[in-house]
Amino acid sequence: MSNKNYSFFQSVEDYFDNAASATKLPKGLLEQIKACNAVYQMRFPVKIGKNYHVIEAYRVQHSHHRLPTKGGIRYAMSVNQDEVMALAALMSYKCAIVDVPFGGAKGGVKIDPRSYEEADLQKITRRYTTELIRKNFIGPGIDVPAPDYGTGPREMAWILDTYTTFKNGEIDAVGCVTGKPVNQNGINGRTEATGRGVYYGIREAMSFEDDMEALGLTTGTQGKTMVVQGLGNVGSYTATISQKEGGMKIIGVAEYEGAIYNPDGIDVEKLLRFRKKTGSIIGFPGTKKLAKREDALELECDVLVPAALEQVITGANANRIKAKIIAEAANGPVTPDAEEILLKKGIMVIPDMYINAGGVTVSYFEWLKNLSHMRFGRLEKRFDQQTYENLVSLVLRLTGKTLSQKEHNFLTRGADEIDLVRSGLEETMITSYRAIRTILKKNRKVTNLRQAAFVCAIEKIGSDYISLGIFP
C-alpha cells in the first residue's frame, strides 16, 4: 500500500475488506455488514449571546442487526460525515467483539467545546437531543448515545433531562443514554471504564510468553515502559491504572500544549493535579520538554498508547515509531499504510475495536441497570457476605486457627456495584482477547490482531443476519 491520504471511513473499509477475505461469508452479506444503514445530517440554530450560530451535527447508525444502536457523541471541530460514519462502523465491530448486543452508532457536533460557556453548551446539547427525538434517532430500544471526545457525564445528564421531558411516563426512559452521572441513573465505574479496559487488554496481551518473546519482551506489565498521547478521560485512566495496578513506568506524555519525558517514570496522578493547577503538563518537575508534541509518539518504549484522535500514526511517521506494542486507546489512530509499516517492523498493534471497548461494555452494564431499575449487588451482597461468614467460621472452628480483623473482612466481603462492574469488564477484556488471539493462531489467512478482530466481528454479525433469515 502506498503512502496516501486516507478518508477515515475509507481506512475502516480497507481494514474490513482485508479481513473479509479471510471469512467464508458471501459477498452480498459482507456488503450489508459494511454499509452504514442510516445517516442523519442536521443543521440547527442556537442563540449564543446576541447572535445565532448555525450548528452542524450528525448521528449515524451503522448497523441495525441488533437494537438499540450504541455509540458516543463527539464535540470537536474535526467532526464531519466521513468521520462519524467511520466511528459508527467501528462501534458495530467493537460491540460484536465484546459481545455487547447492540448495533453501532456515533454522533458528532461540529463545535469546539472550549470556546463556549457552559450554558451555551447546554443549549446546543438540548437542541441536538431534540433533533434526535424528532427523527426517532434516540431511545432506550432505538439508539443510545454516550460520551466520546469532548463530552462527558454533564452532557449525558442534559440529554437525559431533555429526553424525559418529551417522553414523560416512558418507564425505561433513563436507558436512553449512558455515561450519566452516578446520581442520575449512571453506574459506578463508567468514567474509568475505557482506560481500565485498555489496561486489562494490555495486561492480557502481555501474558502470553510466545507473543512477548517474539517482541523481545518478558511477560507481565511490571516495570514495562509506557508512553501516553492524550490525557483526556481515556489516556489519564489508562496511565494511572497501568501505573498503580500494573506497575508500569510512564516515561512520556503528550497533550495539547506539548510533550514531556522522564526515563525514570512520571507520577501520573501528580501530573494530573499539576495540569489542573497550571493548565499545562509542561514544567512538571523532573521532566524534559520535547521539541514537538508529536515527538512523544516516537519515543523508545514497550507500550505506546495513542489516546486522543484518529490518524496520528500515518505513512509519514510510522517508520520512526520505536514502541514494541501499540495499544489503540483512541479510535482509528493508525492508518492502513502505517499499519503495514509497523507490522513489517515487528510491532504488535492491539486494535481499537478491542482495546478501547471497555467504555461501551460498561455502558451496556449501565443500560441493563437502567432497564432493571435497580443497582447491581443490591439483592445478593448481604446474602453472599453471610455465606462467606458461615464458611470462614466453619473453617476456623475445624482448624482451630484465627484471623485478623482485616483478613476476616477481606474474606467475607460481599460485592458492591463497582466490584461487579470491574469484574465484568475484566472478564470481557480477557475473554475477547483470547477469542481474537485464537483466530489469529488458527485461521491461516489471518496475519495480525486487527484482521483477527475484524474476522471475529464480521463472523458474529454475519451469523446474526443468517439466523434472522435475511441471508441464506
What amino acid positions are annotated as catalytic residues?
106
Strand partners, 144: 70
Q: Which amino acid type is present at position 454?
A: F
With H, G, I as helix, E, B as strand and everything else as coil, classify residue 396: helix
What residue type is 179 in one-letter code? G
What is the smallest separation between the CB atom of 226 and ligand GLU, expressed in angstroms? 21
Residue 359 binds to ligand GLU (criterion: CB under 6 A): yes
CB atoms within 10 A of CB 461: 25
- 143/157 Cα distance (integer angstroms): 16
92: contact with ligand GLU by CB under 6 A: no
The least distance separating ligand GLU from the CB of residue 376, rounded to whole angstroms, comes to 17
Q: Which of 68, 72, 150, 315 is in the footprint of ligand GLU by CB under 6 A?
A: 72
Contact residues for 400 (Cβ-Cβ < 8 A; gap 6+): none
Q: Which is nearer to ligand GLU, 147 or 315 (CB)?
A: 147
Does 328 contact ligand GLU by CB under 6 A?
no
Looking at the Cβ atoms of 25 and 456, the one nearer to ligand GLU is 456
Give the N- to C-terminal CA distance of the chain in Å, as an integer.
Answer: 34
The binder of ligand GLU chosen from 6, 12, 40, 71 (CB under 6 A):
71
Q: Which residue is nearest to ligand GLU (CB)?
A: 72
Residue with Cβ nearer ligand GLU (106 or 293): 106
Q: What is the C-alpha separation between 225 and 239, in angstroms, rounded?
A: 11
Which residue, 190 or 249, is less far from ligand GLU as judged by CB? 190
With contacts defined by CB under 6 A, name the span among 69-77, 220-228, 267-275, 379-387 that binds ligand GLU: 69-77
Distance in Å, CB of 34 to ligand GLU, minimum:
19
Longest Cα–Cα distance of the chain, Å, equals: 79
CB of 84 to ligand GLU, least distance (A): 12
Distance of CA 312 to the CA centre of its chain: 17
Considering the complex, state which of residue 86 and residue 446 has its C-beta at the smaller distance from ligand GLU: 86
Under the criterion CB under 6 A, does residue 192 sit at the interface with ligand GLU? no
Structural contact between residues 392 and 409, judged by C-beta atoms closer than 8 angstroms: no
Cell (9 digits) for 72: 458516543
Report the site for ligand GLU in 153-182 (rule: CB under 6 A).
178-179
Q: Is 146 in the site for ligand GLU (CB under 6 A)?
A: yes
Q: Which helix (H) or strand (E) segment is 74 a member of?
A: strand 69-75
CA–CA distance, 276 with 91 (Å, rounded to integer): 31
CB of 7 to ligand GLU, least distance (A): 19
Residue of 338, 360, 420, 461 that binds ligand GLU (CB under 6 A): 360
| # binding residues, ligand GLU (CB under 6 A) | 12
Alpha carbon distance 178, 310 (integer Å) = 23
| Residue from the set 65, 66, 70, 126 that interacts with ligand GLU by CB under 6 A | 70
Single residue of 262, 363, 412, 428 touching ligand GLU by CB under 6 A: 363
Q: Nearest 5 degrees, angle CA 83-CA 54-CA 154?
A: 65
**Nearest distance in Å: CB 468, ligand GLU:** 23
Count of C-beta atoms within a 10 Å radius of residue 296: 24
Tell me how far apart the alpha carbons of residues 69 and 81 are, in angstroms, rounded to a whole number: 18
Which of 13, 148, 155, 464: binder of ligand GLU (CB under 6 A)? 148
Q: Which stretch binds ligand GLU (CB under 6 A): 24-32, 41-49, 221-229, 356-364?
A: 356-364
Burial of 8 (0-12, 13-18, 19+ CB in 10 A): buried
| Member of 242, 287, 331, 335 binding ligand GLU (CB under 6 A) | 331
Q: Cβ 201 to ligand GLU, closest distance in Å?
A: 13
Q: Measured between alpha carbons, how far is 106 from 91 in angstroms, rounded to an integer?
A: 8
Q: Which of 300, 302, 326, 291 is nearest to 312 (CA)?
A: 326
Binding site for ligand GLU (CB under 6 A): 70-72, 146, 148, 178-179, 331, 356, 359-360, 363
